[in-house]
Amino acid sequence: MADVVHRSVFCLHYSPLVLPFPSASSSKLSLPSKILSRNLRLEHEESSQRFLWVTEFSSFLRSRSASHVKARDSVAEGDEQKWWEKNAGPNMVDIHSAQEFLDALRDAGDRLVIVEFYGTWCGSCRALFPKLCKTAEEHPEILFLKVNFDANKPMCKRLNVRVLPYFHFYRGTDGQLESFSCSLVKFQKIKDCIAMHNTARCSIGQPTGIGNIDLLASPDAKDKPAEANSR
């Protein structure tokens, strides 16, 4: 009997003590209800804050995207009017046909008329154009006509326009006064011609216009493209 008791004491003294380790779920369940409630409330508040941040950030991205689209559209709208479509004022007129050209010269009477022949692809034409618009604003008494070479090739060929930009000066009964090619660096030549021909004078008879050139005849079969003035 004593031997049995001794063996039992030995087992209790030297055997490892095995206790059940609580799992996560059991430990959570064992927390007091107040602590559990507080943790749940904190988790809910944290989730709400994250949701609010995500919502605000999404709204910010949408506003940025809308602003970008608006800016892009405004730029696109500004680009709708090309450089050659801009006019300095009522004394700068686009010519779309030979008949319009003849009518404009006839209706100008004794006014000085400056005709610019240009190409939308011509870099020299584009560089010179702002200065031409400024000159038109400074001289409202002068009529400026703009002729797109590619849209009026037959007429331009008959007027001996070969290099762009090209200029013609007309006035009343004197008809054509000047014709020359001019780039931005030689713009002073246009100012000199204005000073020479834009003077007070008496007109006698009807405007002579372009002389004996028939601008309304059928176009030639072969037309060479114009060249841009690079000097």
- Positions annotated as catalytic residues are 122, 125
d(CA 166, CA 5): 128
CA dihedral 32, 36, 38, 43 (to 10 degrees): 160
For residues 111 and 170, is the Cβ–Cβ distance under 8 A? Answer: no
For residues 50 and 58, is the Cβ–Cβ distance under 8 A? Answer: no
Q: 199-203: long-range contacts at Cβ-Cβ below 8 A with a sequence spacing of 24 or more?
A: 201/110, 201/172, 203/109, 203/110, 203/172, 203/173
Angle CA 192–149–144, to nearest 5:
40
Spatial CB neighbours of 147, under 8 Å, sequence gap ≥ 6: 95, 101, 115, 116, 117, 118, 155, 156
CA neighbor of 207 nearest in space, from 97, 98, 101: 101
